[in-house]
Amino acid sequence: MVKRLLKFTFLLVVISSIFISESLAQFANHRALSQKATKLATDYPALCSVKSLVKTPGGRDVWVLAIGTGDRDSKPAIAIVGGIDGSYIFTRELAIGFAENILKESATPEIKNLLDRITFYVFPDVNPDASEQYFSTLRYERLINDRATDDDRDFQTGEDPFEDLNGDGLITLLRVSDPAGKYIESTDDKRVMVEADLSKGQKGTYLLFSEGIDNDKDGLFNEDGAGGVDFNKNFTYNYEEYGANAGLHAVSEPESKAVADFLYDHFNIYAVICFGPQDNLSQQTPRGNERPAPSGQQTQAIQQQQGRQAGERRITSVLRSDETVIRLVSEKFQEITGLRGAPPSKTSPGNFADWVYYHYGRYCFTTPGWWFPSERGKNTEVSFLKFAEDNKLENVFVPWTEIKHPDFPDKKVEVGGIKPFAMLTPPADKVQEMITKNYKFIVEVAGMHPELEFIDKKVENVGSDIYRITLKVHNKGLFATCSEAGANNQWTRIMRISLEPAKGQTILSGQKVQRMQRLEGNSSSEFSWLISGKGRVAISAGALNTGTISTSFDLK
């Protein structure tokens, strides 16, 4: 009997190992991802450079690739960020896959023209300590880096980690038969555990925990394991002090600080595409608010009525003109990827996407990049198992198997549940298809970039060698020259228009250098000068995030 049990256990481990090996082959671990990034820079030296921004607490590099022609830092740019959430392992493939595809197609007229006008900064994985758990011998969905932290504040670290109780290399769930439990088997699929609904006369029959042992006997399971701080909770917008995995303070971690510093230092970035758990491309965008008027334009009473103190300028929801652009981009995303009806967007205090829009002041488009279709009103896990059945996906569920558990010696205890990462990664035959679709989406969005041109240029001789110059600066792109949220942000460069007279010429009216207001897509601003004297007048306009244009007039 013992020999049979040993043979069965060995067979289970072998089968599980085969499944894990096949799954791992779909995606690149940190070492392979690093090799991919550096190889792209080697293969396309004129178009791509790569550098490590920082090493994480776990000693892993956070890479950024700069892709484009010429002086990349002086052209309008889009940042593409993967690996924001360690459990969304596929987002890393979307980011590096974009870099691979655009460089592979860089000789085509469309992409060549795009790379002449736009720079792409690609961060394949900003949270590599967490992502690497996918490739570990003990596999579970991890959000945090390798920073040693005392998560349960008992002055110890790492004393209650995950334990693999059934030896399959996966951390799933632990259910305990108990009349005081809050959970029951779902009536739609008995493999799934759901909370009992008292209003329906249901009574709980199970306790539910993550797979493991209560090592420190505090009633919690696996609450103080290896690591760490969550990259996606470590930013300044709505940062939660003393929040779980939020860090000692906002931007406390080397990876979050390095990414923020890079973005702040690159004023040419006008939009950020985030691949992660937040989503504003497949769901109804929150209704935009009008920008709060500058202090002095409203009375204190009106400001207080609107829930703001006098002079307060903080915004808490998407502004109306930015909402218009997000909706346009959202329509393109759904049209190109075919993805609709995403599950509810996951949010957390201090998340990266909110920081990008509200504090960094850039257009932010965020999506998981793939999800399985979920039936409205159905439990998410039930919907996934139905999706897996319809698509003949195997090895996505660990059958409930009874074990002996030291914390529950007199109760029936079982290990099982949906396998880690199964619900967040596309089927193997869809991986390349979704990488290609998301690549095409980003290329389409990049084509909407703000782009300035001079129109309606006129020179009029008003007599006595005095000339009136009139022109309009027109934004022919679909994006505004900057997001409305970033219009008054110190990290957004203000557009300027400059006139340089020839020697002997004098500007009689109009300013030599003046600020330009933000321009919506397909809108213009008119400028006029009176110049005394003949010669060539040079005019330039723009900013790093829009590009600079120039023209000249010969006054004779």
3-state secondary structure 103-172: HHCCCCHHHHHHHHHCEEEEECCCCHHHHHHHHCCCECCCCECCCCCCCCCCCCCCCECCCCCCCCCECC
Q: Are 333 and 285 in contact (CB under 8 A)?
A: no
Quick one: pLDDT at residue 9? 38
The whole-number average pLDDT for the span 176-184 is 95
Would you say the CATH fold of 452-555 matches that of 29-134+230-289+316-372+426-446? Answer: no
Give domain limits for the chain.
29-134+230-289+316-372+426-446, 150-226+375-422, 452-555
Rounded CA separation 145/452 (Å): 42
Is the confidence at residue 313, as pLDDT, over 80?
no
User: Mind listing the pLDDT tens digit for each residue in 13-71?
Assistant: 333 443 444 444 579 999 999 999 999 999 999 999 999 999 999 999 999 999 999 99
Identify the CA nearest to 282 among candidates 388, 350, 368, 195.
368
Residue with tokens 């259910």, as numbered in its chain: 175
User: Mind listing the pLDDT tens digit for each residue in 233-251?
Assistant: 999 999 999 898 999 999 9
The whole-number average pLDDT for the span 76-94 is 97
The whole-number average pLDDT for the span 76-101 is 98
Quick one: pLDDT at residue 266? 97
Q: Which of 1-5, 72-76, 315-319 has the lowest mean pLDDT?
A: 1-5
Collapsing DSSP states into helix, strand and coil, what is residue 325? Answer: helix
CATH class of the domain whose range is 452-555: mainly beta
The whole-number average pLDDT for the span 186-201 is 94
Q: Give the chain's mean pLDDT.
A: 88
User: Mind listing the pLDDT tens digit for each residue in 378-416?
Assistant: 899 999 999 999 999 989 999 999 999 998 999 999 999
Q: Are 401 and 395 in contact (CB under 8 A)?
A: no
* Interstrand relation of 77-81 and 269-275 (parallel, antiparallel or unpaired): parallel
Rounded CA separation 175/400 (Å): 9
Hey, CA dihedral for 15, 18, 20, 26, is it positive or negative? negative
User: Mind listing the pLDDT tens digit for each residue in 430-481?
Assistant: 999 999 999 999 999 999 999 999 999 999 999 999 999 999 999 999 999 9
Is the confidence at residue 181, as pLDDT, over 50?
yes
Percent of the chain scored above 90 by pLDDT? 78
The whole-number average pLDDT for the span 278-304 is 52
**Token pair for residue 249?**
């303070």
* Interstrand relation of 397-403 and 413-418 (parallel, antiparallel or unpaired): antiparallel
Distance of CA 553 to the CA centre of its chain: 45
Identify the CA nearest to 83 among candidates 136, 158, 28, 41.
28
Which phi-psi region, left, alpha or beta, contains residue 398 (left: φ > 0; alpha: ψ -120 to 50)? beta
Quick one: pLDDT at residue 17? 40
Quick one: pLDDT at residue 225? 58
Is the confidence at residue 258, as pLDDT, over 60?
yes
Quick one: pLDDT at residue 162? 81
pLDDT-derived band at 519 (thresholds 50, 70, 90) equals very high
The model carries a pTM of: 0.89
Residue of higher predicted confidence among 506 and 303: 506
Kindly write down the DSSP assignment for every residue of 184-240, as one continuous string: EE-SS-TTSEEE--GGGT----EEEEESS--TT-SS-SS-B-S---BGGG-SSTT--
Rounded CA separation 540/556 (Å): 21
Kindly write down the DSSP assignment for every residue of 42-89, as one continuous string: HH-TTTEEEEEEEE-TTS-EEEEEEESSSSGGGS-EEEEE--SSTT-T
pLDDT-derived band at 153 (thresholds 50, 70, 90) equals low
Quick one: pLDDT at residue 247? 94
Quick one: pLDDT at residue 214? 77
Rounded CA separation 69/387 (Å): 44
Number of other CB atoms surrounding residue 236 within 10 Å = 16
Residue of higher predicted confidence among 99 and 1: 99
Rounded CA separation 178/207 (Å): 6
**Token pair for residue 490?**
């110190």
**Token pair for residue 288?**
């935009």
Quick one: pLDDT at residue 299? 35
The whole-number average pLDDT for the span 113-136 is 97
Task: Name, of 158-162, 334-338, 375-379, the range with top average pLDDT.
Answer: 334-338
Residue of higher predicted confidence among 343 and 459: 459
Quick one: pLDDT at residue 190? 96
The whole-number average pLDDT for the span 490-514 is 94
Q: Are 473 and 546 in contact (CB under 8 A)?
A: no
Rounded CA separation 373/282 (Å): 12
The whole-number average pLDDT for the span 509-536 is 96
Is the confidence at residue 422, as pLDDT, over 60?
yes
Residue of higher predicted confidence among 300 and 474: 474
Quick one: pLDDT at residue 315? 87
Q: Which CATH number fits domain 29-134+230-289+316-372+426-446: 3.40.470.10, 3.30.450.20, 3.30.365.10, 3.40.630.10?
A: 3.40.630.10
pLDDT-derived band at 220 (thresholds 50, 70, 90) equals low
* Interstrand relation of 496-500 and 513-515 (parallel, antiparallel or unpaired): antiparallel
